Structure 1
């Protein structure tokens, strides 16, 4: 089973960034610091998130739980949602609300 099996697009992006920084996560639950990440590596991670994913992540949010690929991806997703203008977020939520469970599942699978 590979790291990306079952990973969503944000988890895959986070794992790729970590790998580019010299960390080698084998699962979505591997801890950043246990893999050898340090404060300077964390700063580089945040800069790459901003550069590649277009969102600024407050560093303090990364310390609310163990810093795993999965948790970092949730924090990035939350920051992306928070950055959306309210009317754009409402439109996306309305579109999702109008979809069947099967359509939502297909959309998630396509990610």
Structure 2
């Protein structure tokens, strides 16, 4: 085997190893990095949405990448009901279970 064939074989093997390592990196590492990025992005988005909702008490000027997955709960100072709001509307939920009413009263007491 002459020198040019040895060099070609060495270069082909080295290129194959590098391509294999790059493919393994894409398959094993990038999905977890993407999931981590999406988690952080969703958390920041959630913080902005909740801060805006606390300030304005509505979702009119709020951008949400996932409006069906975002909900804010408003507990009034008295009564046995709570409000659940998101970008699609607000629902008034009446609580009939006595234990849940006591739990809501504890939340009101500590807030």
TM-score w.r.t. the length of structure 2 is 0.25
Q: Which has the higher contact order (CA 8 A, sep 6+)?
A: 1
TM-score w.r.t. the length of structure 1 is 0.25
- Highest Rg: 1 or 2? 2
Task: Pick the structure with more strand per residue.
Answer: 2
